[in-house]
Structure 1
Amino acid sequence: MWTLFEPVHAVTYFAPQARARYEAVGLRGYWRGYFAGRAAAFGPVGPGPVHATFFGFHPAMVRRALPDVWTRATPADTLAARLDGARAALDDVLGSVPAADVAEAAELLRSAAGQADLAGRALAAAHADLPWPADPVGVLWQAATVLREHRGDGHVATLVNAGLDGVEALVWRSALDSDREVLQPNRGWSDEEWDAAATRLVERGWLEVDGRPTTAARTARDDIERRTDELAVAPWRGLGGTATERLASLLHPIAMAARTHLPAMNPIGLPAPHRSA
């Protein structure tokens, strides 16, 4: 289910319509829009809660954005721009999906989001408190956002429970299936900080001295992903098997359309081109 709702949410990070709406309210530059957009549900928050809940970013990178972004756009204006940009991005690609299917998917996804257990899930709870849009595409995006942050909050808790800090999680991930050249600069860590984290992972037994992941690192990935999924199951258990299967069938063409806004190489969940029941 994550791979089917994540692309719906993620247009806010990659679609040109989303970036244009941020710029229109004064948030010029990619990272101003990113930090303001995700954090605005908290209100005019400072860097501390954002560093904690977003997890993998260097504290200095967060401080460069916050609280400065609130001098450029209010949280209310930012939230409106974010929703409007996501809606425009989805409208751009959903022309081949019947409107009735979008509306049904939106209501089922909203119902699933309403089943999310929010205790200890700061980002998900903040977004769940926002008013619901009146249109199906807006509801679809908002529900995907609540569910996305719900899963993400659980994932962060699992990483912390595994004894990983933000940079260690990135170094470990880049060794497994991602790219240091993308992750390191996009999260603001220096070479010295990155290499020190790699040394700690070698000492832990998760990396070889040449940077390759060990069997223990791969086992840990499987355990952490399994636990993340377990912590994210409440919305689907609440929705029920039949409705969840119906939602999956409705979301697949929507997610495939949304992924046209997303780069081919990225660390988020993407749906398979073909879905079997």
Structure 2
Amino acid sequence: MADDAAARARTMWPLFEPIHAVTYFAPEALAAYEDADLRGFWRGYFAGRAAPLGPVGPGPVVAAFFGFAPAMVARALPAVWGLAAPERALELRRTGATAALARLLAGHERAVERAAEALAPRAADLDGSGRVLAAANGTLDFPDDPLGRLWHAATLLREHRGDGHVAALVAAGLDGCETLALRAAVDLPRTELQPVRGWTDAQWQAAEQRLAERGLLARDGSATDAGRETLRTVEAATDRAAERPWQTLGPDEAADLVSLLTPLATACGSALRFPNPIGVPKPTG
């Protein structure tokens, strides 16, 4: 049953992740931040995603977001709180996300209602122990409107999974830059990872050197079998850590939920680019 639940967790991830990710990629979400003087993509990103933690400085965000260079985080925090307090940033991210979903999911209103009804109870009961972002988002109320409820449920599920992913990476002995360098050697372009996470060329090269010393990268920069196995182990651990919301989901119910979410994820995926720094694959359906 545990293996089945982990497999369901893997299946569900690319279906709820695009629903959440409109807050990073859709023009409505970006405009909501800019209209409140959070100009430039990263001010809105750090303000919106970190807002559930309160008016924090860079330290907790470096830890929770994991893959970002500390210097990049420090350029945004705590300065953004002088432009928009966390409470205001939470309003902006919800406004932008629901506006984006209203456009992208037009014509899917009944499916949105059903998906919100299906996901909200699973997201509301998440265990936040050891999961900073999931626990912080879990203190926020669910919106009353279906689009808001769906987005909030997707956000809770993705931050819950993300927190578990960070734990798996730490257990594998990888730091933020090493993780990105290893992924770049396996399945994601370096151009999608290094610039948007703020690492310098010198930091990237040092991370590659550390990976090579561990036998995870070859001399030509490609991933070794051990490097690929390390990432497979991390992904398997991530799925196990994310399985609890899906443990009571039977095969028929799982199939129904996949059928329900697939067109919604596909529609939301049109706002994303592929490949992307999140690593979520393009929805198929």
Find the counterpart in structure 2 of residue 114 from structure 1.
124
| Aligned 8 A contact 1:115 1:239 in 2 | no
Determine the C-alpha separation between the residues in 1 that align with 2:279 and 2:211. 23
Q: Which amino acid aligns with 1:59?
A: P
| Aligned 8 A contact 1:46 1:67 in 2 | yes
What are the superposed Cα offsets for residues 39-73 of structure 1, whole Å, 9 maximum, x if unpaired? Answer: 00011111110000000111111110000000000
Residue 44 of structure 1 aligns to a residue whose secondary structure is: coil
Structure 2 residue 87 is matched with structure 1 residue 59: no
Residue 261 of structure 1 aligns to a residue whose secondary structure is: coil
Q: Which segments of 5 or more consecutive residues in structure 2 lack a partner in the other structure?
A: 1-11
Find the counterpart in structure 1 of residue 22 from structure 2.
11
1:70 to 75, 81, 87: 81
Residue 89 of structure 1 aligns to a residue whose secondary structure is: helix
- 1:238 deviates by 4.0
What pairs with 1:118-133 in structure 2 (closer than 5 Å)?
118-133=128-143
Find the counterpart in structure 1 of residue 113 from structure 2.
103
Find the counterpart in structure 1 of residue 59 from structure 2.
48
1:89 to 75, 90, 100: 100
Determine the C-alpha separation between the residues in 1 that align with 2:207 and 2:142. 41
- 1:241 deviates by 4.4
Q: Is 237-246 or 188-197 further displaced after alignment? A: 237-246
Amino-acid identity (%): 55
- 1:240 deviates by 4.7
Q: Which segments of 5 or more consecutive residues in structure 1 lack a partner in the other structure?
A: none
Residue 92 of structure 2 aligns to a residue whose secondary structure is: helix
- 1:180 deviates by 1.3
What pairs with 1:161-180 in structure 2 (closer than 5 Å)?
161-180=171-190
Q: Is 238-247 or 108-117 further displaced after alignment? A: 238-247
Q: Which amino acid aligns with 1:199?
A: Q
CA RMSD of superposed structures (Å): 1.2
Aligned length: 273
What are the superposed Cα offsets for residues 168-222 of structure 1, whole Å, 9 maximum, x if unpaired? Answer: 0010011111111221111111111110110110010000011000001111111
Find the counterpart in structure 2 of residue 2 from structure 1.
13
Find the counterpart in structure 2 of residue 38 from structure 1.
49
Find the counterpart in structure 2 of residue 251 from structure 1.
261
Task: Give TM-score, length-normalised by structure 2.
Answer: 0.93
